[in-house]
Amino acid sequence: MGRIYRHQTLGRDEYLGRVDPASGAIYRARLGPDKAIGRVDMQTGKVYRLRLGPDEYLGRTDLKTGKIFRHRLGPDKYVGRTADNGKLYRHVQLGRDQYVGKVSAMTSTLEGGAAMLLFFIGEAQGSTTEEEDDSLWDSETDLNTGTDH
């Protein structure tokens, strides 16, 4: 069972949730029973957010390379990658990719892609439009602490 952590620069990494590799279910940690928030199709690498009605397609992870793509109108956008050791990196244009967290005891790069799309891009930012989401990634705000540089 992969446990998802957000990197904290000056402290212990924050535990966010877990991934069940057998079913592909993703759970958010909370007081009491964990809440199912999404799933990853272990055959195709597609990641979905659970919601009332049909699940929302968020993006996909390339099984061979570990590259993570967010779904959008037109070609999907490359947003990061997951390493074989479970570390998650967000893509930075014209710079070095930024380490944002990890999935411990990861059995497949698909688990890391699901964690990135559900915890570090989708729900974590709470944005409703693609432009708002892009502006959050491109800003000079530290996503780990919420402070400006």
Give the tens place of pLDDT for each residue, 11-40.
Answer: 999 999 999 989 999 999 999 999 999 999
Q: Judge whether residue 96 has pLDDT over 80.
A: yes
Average pLDDT of 112-136? 63
How many domains in the chain? 1
Residue 117 domain flag: yes
Owning domain of residue 93: 2-129
Residue 143 domain flag: no
pLDDT value at position 24?
A: 92
Residue 144 domain flag: no
Residue 148 domain flag: no
Q: Judge whether residue 137 has pLDDT over 60.
A: no
pTM recorded for the entire structure: 0.78
> 79-83, 117-121, 137-141 — which is least confidently predicted?
137-141
pLDDT value at position 122?
A: 59
* Residue-wise pLDDT tens digits, 62-78: 989 999 999 999 999 99
Band of pLDDT at residue 1, cut at 50, 70 and 90: confident
Residue 105 domain flag: yes
User: Tokens 């620069």 correspond to what residue?
Assistant: 9
Residue 36 domain flag: yes
Residue 134 domain flag: no
pLDDT value at position 148?
A: 42
Residue 33 domain flag: yes
